[in-house]
Amino acid sequence: MITGGPGCGKTTILELLAQMGGKKYCGEIEVISVCGEKMVLVPESARRVIKKQQAKGVEEPWSDRVAFQTEIILDQILLEQKAKQENGVFMVYDRGRPDGWTYCLLEGKKAPEVEKLARRNYDLIVFLEMPPKTLYESDLERSEDYETAIQISRAIRKVYDEMGFEIKNLGFMDKESRLKKFFQMIC
């Protein structure tokens, strides 16, 4: 599972993996073959939920943080169940359930129902370090400024540490080098 702050390159890793498997990553579950092994790429639920809500005319679906994060985690659970049916040797998740719990905590919302949903065991957590400020970009689903993204990144790391996960750090570097390091971590 890949995690880290907004804009650290999680989706980029999945896009590069899809390209290696001869596919274009489009934010849905993708099944690819890499080095002869079946790999399942699982998209970020937050982006899916934001797009769905904005298509319904809800400009800021995160205004009710607890309801928003609950919807994201429930979507994540659904994606994880669908991905499991693919029987991949490797499952690569763009974010995990504890990320949603982190966002609630950052808003000062201690929602036990969200924390309960957030508890899940992942085999390996790869934490991506943030890029330099000059390379950070926001978009329609990632509206945070750089300083806020750094705070979120630190908070995510803290939550995963507190939940007892074994975490491997992956520093910021060019995307090809980062992908190579990622493979070294998972193989």
Q: Over 70: is that where the pLDDT of 141 sits?
A: no
**Residue 36 pLDDT:** 84
Question: For residues 103 and 156, is the Cβ–Cβ distance under 8 A?
Answer: no
Higher pLDDT, 160 or 104: 160
Q: State which amino acid sits at residue 181.
A: K
How far apart are the C-alpha atoms of 164 and 148, rounded to whole Å?
25
Domain ranges for the chain: 2-176
Mean pLDDT computed over 139-168: 89
Higher pLDDT, 184 or 113: 184
How far apart are the C-alpha atoms of 22 and 115, rounded to whole Å?
37
How far apart are the C-alpha atoms of 76 and 49, rounded to whole Å?
10
Q: Give the class (CATH, top level) of 2-176.
A: alpha beta
**Residue 140 pLDDT:** 65
Higher pLDDT, 50 or 140: 50
**DSSP letter for each residue of 105-163:** HHTT---HHHHHHH----S-EEEEPPPPGGG----SS----HHHHHHHHHHHHHHHHHT
Over residues 20-54, the pLDDT tens digits come to: 888 988 888 999 998 788 999 999 998 899 989 99
Look at the pTM and tell me if it is higher than 0.85: yes
